[in-house]
Amino acid sequence: MDQLTDKTIIITGGTGSFGKAFVKFLLQNTNAKKIIVFSRDEFKQSNMKEQFENDERLRFFLGDVRDLARLKRAFAGVDIVVHAAALKQVPTLEYNPFEAVKTNIIGSQNVVDASIDSGVKKVLLISTDKAVEPVNLYGSTKLCAEKLFSAGNSYSGRTTIFSCVRYGNVIASRGSIIEKLKERGTSPIEITDERMTRFWLSLGKSIELIMFALENMVGGEIFVPKIPSMKLVDLFEAFAPGANRKIIGIRPGEKIHEILVSKPEARHCVEYKGYYVILTEFPYFSADAYKKYYTEGNKLSEDFEYSSDANIDWIQKDEIISVV
């Protein structure tokens, strides 16, 4: 963890499930000088202060990524930004599209601008499998955020570097389907489509991905973990065995299966140290910057696609509860 020694790190959206887990990891496992939680929710910030017993390395900034001036003030003296702030609820964002654009797109542009103006060294976006071939507004805004972060490297003169991580559903995160199953009582389970599959990973694995990206990023990459898939019917059976089921059909803006690396992306993707790394096609900097990926990594075939239904790694029904 030497890369974070004496560094100041800020997490936007830091009061969410990932933010709390990441802050705990940083406090327990690194010698970071300062860890800043940037978010809009003063109540959650107050709870986090109590949870971490007012650790002297921890700071809390109220603010919104829509507010560029506030971001610039928050980023002063910061070495690393992990940008986790986003609006994520698919049906809600379809009904409130302008709000999704303001936070997920304009907010991400603000993070890019504030990082460059403040001299931040590394900036990492947390993205989602829904950004790949998006069929809903949420996925579209995250795809746009990925593109903004990649292009940020052309504005920064290499003094600030921007990269992304992309992963699937986080097991037992706030608002997850597992949480809803536990709270459902005796009501029937609504199933959209019994064929549906999803990528899943733990909060711990998401933190491993973040740390790997921060250590290896040179700018413009999208880091993708190798993670298992799960059949949603197996998830339902594990947490609500024998429950009545109601098939309601696939919802608007939803896919039966998700993709983490598309076929067009596979043309410029390598397998590197147990991860997939999608390299930018645009010449923001010298091609030599990616030399380590080409010399130490393995090029993927052009017809490769990393989708949740064609995965080789699966969480079985009898494993799900122990994983959670």
Residues with catalytic function: 130
**Is residue 280 classed exposed, middle or buried when 0-12, 13-18 and 19+ CB atoms within 10 A define those classes?**
buried
74: left (phi over 0), alpha (psi -120 to 50) or beta: alpha
Q: Beta strands 298-299 and 269-272: pairing type?
A: antiparallel
Q: Which residues pair with 80 in a beta bridge?
A: 9, 122
Question: Interhelix angle for 137-155 vs 107-118, to 10°?
Answer: 20
Residue with tokens 């990594």: 297
**Is 239 within 8 Å of 27 (Cβ atoms)?**
no
DSSP letter, residue 267: T
Beta-strand relationship, 169-170 and 197-201:
parallel
Q: Per the structure block, which two tokens stand in for 59?
A: 């700071």
Contact, 314 vs 233, CB < 8 A? no
Give the integer Cα–Cα distance in Å for 100 and 95. Answer: 10
Q: Which of 31, 43, 123 is nearest to 75 (CA)?
A: 123
Q: Which of 274, 243, 277 is nearest to 261 (CA)?
A: 277
- CA distances for 159 relative to 116, 152, 197, 295, angstroms: 8, 11, 41, 25
Q: Which residues contact 34 (CB under 8 A, 6 or more apart)?
A: 8, 9, 57, 58, 59
